[in-house]
Homo-oligomer: A and B are copies of this chain.
Amino acid sequence: MENAVPLVEVWRGALLESTHSGHAVVCDTSGNIVAAWGDPEAVIYPRSSCKMIQALPLITSGAADRYGLTSEQLALACASHNGAAIHTTRVERWLDQLGLAESDFRCGPQDPADKAAHDGLIRSGQQPCQIHNNCSGKHSGFLTLNRYMGGGPEYHEVDHPVQQAVLAAFEEVTGEDSPGYGIDGCSAPNFATSLHGLARAMAWFASAGSRSDQASAAAGRLVQAMMAHPELVAGEGRACTALMRALGGKAAVKTGAEGVFTAILPEQGLGVALKIADGATRASECTMAAMLIWLGLLESDNPVALDYCNAPIRSRLGLDAGVIRPVAGFIRPI
């Protein structure tokens, strides 16, 4: 993470308490860099910010249509969800539709971030299961593709046909040979790319509607699904959901662990990718909101933009203690 530049400041009183540096790239549909902060060639794991890429083979293979997947299911395939009832009930139905069970997942159990779901499990003495995993929609997509392809049960292994199909799509849309992979929190491989490659992929998604090839048609369906169902892509109180609602169908955005965030801007024909060097989500959310303002997609006084670009730090009594905001000059003054 060399050559990262300061992007976000955490102020408490009159003192700059902490700072976050990182890299950010805006690409046009030719794959050219329109704007960059830090090192656009920094190699990163996109983590969950590339779920729409991982969902491409689900559609291009014919599996999504074979199983009649809805727009809601495509949104869930791209989601890092809260494990709320709106997510888990749909994932359960999806498993039923495939004739599969929770035990067919390979994502592992995760405590749901949704408070009602979390508290409900505790009250009923139940443990979280793999359906609650924030990636269970992506894994439902993997299971659907695997069912269609007739692959073995260990669909999360890098040599499995499902993941090899993901890798082929990933290298196609990033325009790069992936230099390697890491194991993601959900045990699926996560392929590395330069930030430039990730932004190039997002710009390719942004311009999908202008092309007629099968992969572009698949990309267009995924972007439309994300924008149509922001509550399924993340959940209440989450940045992806709040920002996509505020954007009102003008863009799809997706967070990833360790400080990654991507955006697909169809109207502008632009793709955005950013990585906070230290991996902080508070900083990736702030930077993405700042970039959406900078790109003219959000007004700087939009309440959702302010939630992330001028995020108040309060004491547990509610006293105003500080603010998290972009570095001065990154966007227009708020």
Beta-carbon contacts under 8 Å, A4-21 to B: 10, 12-21
Chain A 100-151 interface residues, beta-carbon cutoff 8 Å to B = 106-110, 119, 122-123, 133
A310-334 residues at the B interface, CB under 8 angstroms: 315-322
Task: Indicate if A182 sits at the interface (CB-CB under 8 A).
Answer: yes
Report the separation of the CA atoms of residues A186 and B315 in the bound assembly, to the nearest whole angstrom: 6
User: Which of these binds chain B: A26-34, A80-88, A166-174, A273-281?
Assistant: A273-281
- Measured between alpha carbons, how far is A317 from B103 in the docked complex, in Å? 12
Q: Is there contact, CB below 8 Å, between A183 and B122?
A: no
Complex Cα–Cα for A16 and B4 (A): 14
Q: A13-B180, A14-B180, A183-B12 are in contact. Are A277 and B19 (CB under 8 A)?
A: yes
A43 at the interface (CB under 8 A from B): yes
The answer to whether the Cβ of A44 comes within 8 Å of any Cβ in the partner chain is: yes
Known: A10-B258, A45-B12, A187-B315. A279 touches B18 (CB 8 A): yes
The answer on a CB contact under 8 Å between B1 and A133 is: no
Q: Which residue of B lies closest to A282 (CB)?
A: B279
Decide yes or no whether A92 CB sits under 8 A from chain B: no
Instruction: Please name the residue on chain B nearest to A277 by beta carbon.
Output: B19
Instruction: Tell me whether A37 is interfacial, beta carbon within 8 Å.
Output: no
Question: Whole-angstrom distance from the CB of A199 to the nearest CB of chain B?
Answer: 18
Tell which of B14, B21, B44, B185 touches A315, judged by Cβ atoms closer than 8 Å: B185
Residue among A17, A184, A320, A321 having the largest count of chain B Cβ atoms under 10 Å: A17
Is the beta-carbon distance between B20 and A316 smaller than 8 angstroms?
no
Tell me the number of copies of this protein: 2
Residues B13 and A315 in contact, CB atoms below 8 Å apart:
no
A259/B321 contact (C-beta < 8 A), A108-B316, A185-B316, A315-B183 known: no
A317 to B315: give the CA distance in the assembly, Å: 36
For this complex, into which size category does the number of interface residues on chain A fall?
Answer: 35 or more
Does residue A192 face the partner (Cβ distance < 8 Å to B)?
yes
Q: How far is the CB of A195 from chain B (nearest CB, A)?
A: 13
Chain B contacts of A320 at CB under 8 A?
183
Name 8 interchain pairs, CB-CB below 8 A, sorted by A: A10-B258, A17-B279, A18-B278, A119-B122, A183-B319, A186-B316, A187-B315, A280-B280
Contact status B316-A187, CB under 8 Å: yes
Q: In the complex, which residue of chain B has the Cβ closest to the Cβ of A130?
A: B316
Contact A182 B280 (CB under 8 A): no
User: CB-CB < 8 A to A315: which residues of B?
Assistant: 108, 183-187
Which 4 residue pairs of A and B lie closest in terms of their CB atoms, listed nearest first? Answer: A108-B316, A18-B279, A13-B182, A12-B182
Interface members, chain A 256-286 (any B CB < 8 Å): 258-259, 276-280, 283
> How long is the Cα–Cα vector from A193 to B122 in the complex, in angstroms?
43
- One of B15, B184, B277, B279 near A321 (C-beta < 8 A): B184
